[in-house]
Structure 1
């Protein structure tokens, strides 16, 4: 703020009486006293009387504009600043006016005007105090308009101007974020790191910390991502961002195969953020982390929990819980799960894996001779997948015997089998790559490994990276080898030892002796019984390095404590040591250390956190009584702790998990009653709701919701609580009540972000009651008024389904066309196009339908609905006897897909050949339905009937009879059975 020395008016006293000077002084006094309204009035009175255009007049104009700006009258202030800038080139206030004018236009979103003024400032006052800040605001204005290249240019200038930029941290953050949006993660990391290094106390630092972790993750530099995402500053973030950072951290641990750390981090998300959008994904990651650590019982429990759902995670979890049992040696239980899996997911691409597991059981039982005999027999199977897997496992047996040439032959034979799955081909390629490495063919070994990584980057990540590194090392490419050795550390301790050893030698042979010393020290520490230990000690003498790592943390702390150093009495050091023990999986020692902190440092800021953590550890282990006892100690030792609401909630959860629902209710209600402003209130409300549901007291659950929102109408999450009322009724199948609940929600919470959701579920409720008109009104409301909602496209599809169900095809087409036009970026656009095509077929407008399907297949070639469209195109061509075109679509789908689309396409390909009187080719095509799509019974059965017809045409009545009887035996009394019976009669 400028302070001016009041100018004397003695030189013009004869023109202006003393009152003018008094008004100027009064105006300035009012301004500096914060009385901006009075100052504005006094300045206007001054202008009315003072007509000399000098520095006094200019200063009055400046402070008049400042007064208007302070009063929020931005447009008026802008006019006054502009007048000053454009008419008083000589005043000292002009540079400040220019800067303020640029800021005002920016805040008014007049970005062109804002840039014009800031650029004017830079051109006319290049050395002013506002130079750096002006550059920043120009960059921000371009960012606001999505003009990233222009934004980067000015933001980089702002960052480089270290003299006059009050927004240096904001400049760095916006620049880094702009690079991140462009996908240039290297530069994003560069500028986020500068922000964190030069402005550690900036309020942007926590957000920058998670963004740099994300950027490293995108660069696949997972170790750096782990380092950044472990920063304690992230704990200050809001729960949604913090849970996201933990999920990213857990994934990074998993990618580098630090499965214990991944398990702990996934568990933290699950325990602390049960409402997070990452909840199920975190559970799945937790199960896999346990599985990779051979904790098959624990993994089974999580997979079993997930398998109760209805999403893709549920399907995969169902399969893998069977695998858990197999890995535990509980083969009979595994077989029961496999059988249930096939019944539940008959069309799953995982079914074929179930048919192969006996060979795996022999192999894992360490009986290679018996496994080889079984696998050789399996090689005669008609299933290409089984044959490929059998050959691959035979190659692995030879690989273990170090018969590399023989192994190479088996793997090459496996790769020659057509139509094997990607995973099986990758496994064969990996075995062949290993064999070729040992045979000295590094070039082709690397080629195979690259093909695997391009196909599936997560496949056998540890082993693939290790052999990448071994090949690069053999070729003397130490930098590339070092990178791959880093990623090759994971669950397999044999590969861990070889990877650490290889990393050390990469540094050593590259002349980086400090890093070599650190890694050789790590090798010596971790693998004391390794045969290469003496060599490692020798090379350690040649190269020295010290580095910080989490594995060494607990040992460092122990050394401090054993030495009796002063730091051993520091509660922070003790707390960190306890955390290190806990993160290393030494739970009991961690509990003991946390307890010691409470005894030794009862008044420390870490004491109550230690007690709470002990309770949380017991809770996580399922020792709920012990957890409750520890939590209750908080009431006695730390009655004023900010953790008390969380304690009551956690006790409620413990009782809930024990099935003691009344006790759970008591503790949840204490959170609400005693701590109504606590962030734990919503969780407590949810806990009460689920407790009533667990007790099968639906009415009480609903009554509780009503009572709660009536007592707390203004809470930020009251709408979320009330919405659950409709969800409860809908999940119970009581659609009339769910309609009432969703209608009440819409009336009561007109501004809630859940309103479009309520309209959609109102429509679904009406639809389930066959109240089509009411359903359409609700869906139309979502589509018309809430285009950005995820339910807008779903509403279009539901309306189309309603219209088609009542054969109102005109309106069905109308709504599909509207959805396609108005929702061009929706992920459901291909589905809308496909349903439009089906509607046209139902209207017998075949040519128009053909055009829609063709456009869909061309525009979205990788989408599942593109293949569905290709199937419809094939059927249209078949119905028109355009067999060449039909065969092109149908044969492609029969080979490209392994699901019901492929099964149906393969059958109709056989039918096309039959109609063309190519009976032998038709037989081959129809047998493929049986061999490759056995889980799709409808198409297998239809294929059997048509196979019988083919055999009749070539006068092989015996084979024809076998086909018909096979159908009759399985489907007697059904339409298929009757058709088979009729064909048998005609055959006789």
Structure 2
């Protein structure tokens, strides 16, 4: 039992000694911490945590450990400790404060977004008035570092207004002044500066405070007040003094105060004689300021002071770059090139290398440009200007005519390029390369792809239209122009050049596509004033001409004339003659032949391609004015002066026509023959020989006509008018009595030219000849062929009737009998008036001829009498009287004649003739009384008729 008690006492004393040791270590660390001995405090806290990580004071020890690291500016380690604290002791009472120190640590490490995030959380969770100002200050400082001045200003204003007595307030005021300065809030800056007691600003910020006030006054152009402050700051710390020197130097520079400038330079050089880097920076800034103010000599002076230092390797690349720009502005390119080459030998510089390449490119030294751009790409593959160098290398290849190299590199860059930087330019270049290689279609395809991706690139869309015009793809031009105007409804205000050139190209395309109304509307936009303003005055005359052409094709000749006359007031040599020609055409089309002739005459005198056609139309105008002799003279002159022109054959043809019309057939015939001799390939050659035959045929010179048509077939055996020549040659032969020769022509036409419009007539005419020779059978065959092959022509020529006639002729009838028989058959005998008349005529023929057909005639007459047509019946009845007369039955004949007299009383002549013939029959029969009675009836009813006179003679000679 005693043994156990001893052990317990031993353990208890050990625990007490350990606890005493733990407290001692922690207190020692705390003493070191609060005395500011952070390095030893850190070691003490570390030992404490190593001995007893489970102590109640472990969380606080780790927190203090983090603060020690923070104050020792070991911010990364501090962040690790703070992070571990919250993970190991999630419920520790310091977690909110950790946000503050973590935020400040992130600020000091340059991790500004994370700093803002941590400090914002702290401000949301803690209301400690001693720490909030610090949080506001550092969060705002992070905002300033990120150029987020609005947020920074909001925090700083809260700091200054709500915590004016805090230790952070003084620094906050300075940062707020700076923020106002950077955001252009100069009045707010000056107002705040007035409100603050200078004594409230910490000593170390006093110079900055004064500087920001001076800068605000400077920006407000209150240079005198600013100058006073700057002068007081010349002995301030370097970062403040250098600004003061620069501002005072600029002031002296503006005032052209060379003495003051020299004093400032001398004073600065004395002040910073042991601080070369500061002096170099001052010279550099002075040089840059002078350059920006276009004081190149002074800028060069300062920059050369730096360039002349022995150790050029420490010189900023801005020095040779600004010197280069000075030389470029003075057009001293060789000096600029030499300078950059010297610098690049001393030090690598991407900017200097690019500028050197750019200089070679600007001088069109493409070989050197290629070398340096290629060198840049090899040395700086990850540089931000890599894509730019690649594009410019491709462009240099392009200008160097190394088109294959340009094409290959462009494709490679487009395949591997990161982002959109210079993708647009490279795509555009692919089109230019294709175009330069003569691959217009490929260039058009590339540009179409490009504008699909970049539809807002107006110049590319204009280039696309130009290539399409070269390709004569007018429909695509019209389509693209419509899209262009839809995409840029205000283009006339945005880009006048694009507006004018697009309307112009669209108008020309519409003319080519015969969309004349639309073309006129498009070209109307190309006014003289706007064309000049767009530097496109050269196209204005063309737009006038083609607008005139559009009006001409629309039949609006007066409007066309107006445009063409305007064009002649703005002449373009290549359009003058075309305009004169078109003006003449407009007037000619309006029937103003005299005025048209003037323009054509003017153009005919020129030594141009338009002269022959103008001369031709001048002659045509004379013809329209009835001036045949003048027209003939002009035509003759044209074919004499310009025998090889495209209008010489037309002129000769027209000349022959004039001579033919004036009855000078020999001259006309010779002219037609001459046309064939001179211009055997002319489309008028055939017509000329054919016209020659027509001319003779019209004048009934059949022998000459036959010969002319023969000449045509001899010269043009397969000519388009050969069938006509055969037909009319046959007609001429018929007129000459050469029927057999005519048939030979027509038969050849019938067999060789089955599609000829003359073939039906040839069949008919040939049938007529064969019928005339008594060959009714072959004639009938020809007529039947005509009926079968040309039903319309057959109906018009009454071929069916002729076929019937030929059938009757084959039966032995005479031509007249056959014709009448055919007509009777077609009309159904006595059913129609024509049929009855034909029956009466055929019966008369048979009765008067006598013979075997008189009984047939009597039957026909009886059928006519039976019809209710008193006029026809009277005529038929009269012939029945004739029938009986010729059979010797005189009394019967007299009765039939007398009966005929009373059938149709509306026909007095037939009545009188019938009564006379009845009296004549009575006279022949010896019936004198009957004769007398009938003559008396004639005398009573028809006293003035010839038949009454004949009756009286009958009484005198026969009756008595």
| TM-score w.r.t. length of structure 2 | 0.37
Q: Higher Cα Rg: structure 1 or 2? A: 2
| TM-score w.r.t. length of structure 1 | 0.36
Higher normalized contact order (CA 8 Å, seq sep 6+, divided by chain length) = 1
